[in-house]
Structure 1
């Protein structure tokens, strides 16, 4: 709960605005302290009035009741600090307020800067995200469609399945097809560095792509690289047993993080809240028991504790396993509901007892960012916020984009979306576009 002295303040209004996103930011004194470091009270008040959908400087000026020049200056200053993003869309400059995560929370620590107190900010992020837990719980436990997903490590996929790996499941395809590629400091390990708990994994290895990379590069928050260098960094991430956690879309992926199990919030949340089955890849680790010698290397290296050593009392110990164990032979066992299908464990098995294989049921991956946001909003009961947000910017073109995403949802989710909209006109439009009979009056 917000403290009384923040109630009704620009920071409180901004928190309310952020919570219109499918992934919001629960109100807390810690959140207000974070926002106070990142922006002035006036800037928070201006941001609180901005819509969820992309907007122009002229539209912001109308909302803020400022001149176009004043609005442009305020927007450019916020974009310079990566609090909002500025992107080119159909030949014109537009702006958007990113969600807190993946968004301006991470952007604030993706490079070393002296205009803010990054050590204090890191401690506040730790307390708000890790200790209080509400933020991450709301983010990863709200439904089956998540903001991110795991990319399997391609070298660990057996040849027999390699031809069946879809392009959007390959981190290398994201790299090779991106319009822009930016490399930045890992937000999670940078935060751990200030706390004195950072591991020895590479720091400058956070990957952004396409429009997100373009704006971060423009303002100096990311270093522009070519695909070849990014592939080299991906190989470096594999060598350090890092997990590839990227945007949960099939087209125009905007980020891939290379995560360690000790510092990175995504993996810590998977372990803490047991949400592996909504974030995992379309692959799962399988153990061929007859080849397992019980060395335990896979258990130690698994980033989400999805492998355990169990006693096989029916197996006889071989001489290679040492003297006979009184309690039986140790065997590794994959816990299916915890496995994220990253492939980190595979190369550490000395007897090749482990391999990745396709999951029986494939995960649903949204087509693009719009589809993802609509699906998440539907599951979290926030779709009406998304569509009717700030009616001054409401247009048939924007509505068409959202409705197009609704039509791509599975039938049950589409029904949930229609129920949330509570509009007979939109129900009829959606039903007809999907080739269904419009609902009859009741």
Structure 2
């Protein structure tokens, strides 16, 4: 048992001070975690439509995500050990906020998705964002108890798979003021997700590819067009009963593979799409004994 264990926002502030985040950044993080839907509503309706190239670059570097095929998202939820990796530019190709410092990853909180909550006629359910590990899960439960619930890994896996079945992709999110590291898995629908809107409509590069790309076995394809309708990046189009694939737009989310009833689509490792965020290949961090 830890003596005087610090939790929630107090633990968040303590870590923030240790890494040199000032009061302004700490307040920014609090506002983001406390009023996520309002924060994203402002981005969606004011920042994104009017952003200059310089402003876009700023947001991309400070607030971004990595696409996760279902298997890699499940691997994060299933972790039973801490992960201490910093400066992962090859996996998270941005200058800032690219650490994976998972502490107590079995601590998971299901949080109301700010994108869905700020959208008109949002997809249901809305409580599908997964805040992972300490201090983030405790902080969200503390400051947003009416929008957050504790979840077991099994419950979180169930939500992941249900969202996959709905055609929603999975992303790992990083933010500079959120201690400069990975803090949540979001389950993103193309009708509500502000990150997808920022990318597809306004040219922000807030989402990085998974390290995979899609491949089609044409002899299995039956020209139903379901994959084109499901693809969140517009990489698959369907015209005159023919499928067209844009390699450049493909981010390797795998939604085409789970949508296709004939298994015509598959994901393949692709160095041109970066390195996967595969926590199963990250060494175990051995904890030191703590005096009680």
Query: TM-score, structure 1 length as denominator?
Result: 0.46
Please report how far the alpha carbon of residue 299 of structure 1 lies from its aligned counterpart in structure 2 after TM superposition.
0.8
Q: Select 1:126's aligned residue among 44, 51, 71.
A: 44
Q: Select 2:164's aligned residue among 216, 225, 238.
A: 238
Match of 2:272 in 1: 361
Match of 2:152 in 1: 226
Unaligned runs of 5+ in 2: 1-8, 80-104, 176-180, 280-292
The answer to whether residue 253 in structure 2 is matched with residue 302 in structure 1 is no
Match of 2:118 in 1: 191
Q: Please say if residues 165 and 258 of structure 2, whose CA atoms lie closer than 8 Å, have aligned partners that are also in contact.
A: no
Unaligned runs of 5+ in 1: 1-78, 111-117, 155-169, 312-329, 369-442
Distance verdict in 2 for CA 1:341–1:248, change over 3 Å:
farther
Q: Which has the higher strand share?
A: 2
Distance verdict in 2 for CA 1:125–1:271, change over 3 Å:
closer
Match of 2:75 in 1: 173
Please report how far the alpha carbon of residue 105 of structure 1 lies from its aligned counterpart in structure 2 after TM superposition.
3.1
The answer to whether residue 275 in structure 2 is matched with residue 352 in structure 1 is no
Larger radius of gyration: 1
2-side partners of 1:247 and 1:125: how far apart? 16
Match of 1:217 in 2: 141
Query: TM-score, structure 2 length as denominator?
Result: 0.66
Question: What do the CA deviations read for 1:385-434 (whole angstroms, capped 9, x no partner)?
Answer: xxxxxxxxxxxxxxxxxxxxxxxxxxxxxxxxxxxxxxxxxxxxxxxxxx
Distance verdict in 2 for CA 1:364–1:301, change over 3 Å:
closer
Please report how far the alpha carbon of residue 133 of structure 1 lies from its aligned counterpart in structure 2 after TM superposition.
3.6
Distance verdict in 2 for CA 1:218–1:263, change over 3 Å:
same
Match of 1:153 in 2: 70
Please report how far the alpha carbon of residue 290 of structure 1 lies from its aligned counterpart in structure 2 after TM superposition.
2.5
Indicate the RMSD between aligned Cα atoms, in angstroms.
Answer: 3.8
Q: Please say if residues 282 and 341 of structure 1, whose CA atoms lie closer than 8 Å, have aligned partners that are also in contact.
A: yes
2-side partners of 1:99 and 1:237: how far apart? 32
Q: Which has the higher contact order (CA 8 A, sep 6+)?
A: 2
- With 332-341 and 342-351 compared, the bigger mean Cα shift is at 342-351
Please report how far the alpha carbon of residue 287 of structure 1 lies from its aligned counterpart in structure 2 after TM superposition.
1.2
Distance verdict in 2 for CA 1:199–1:358, change over 3 Å:
same
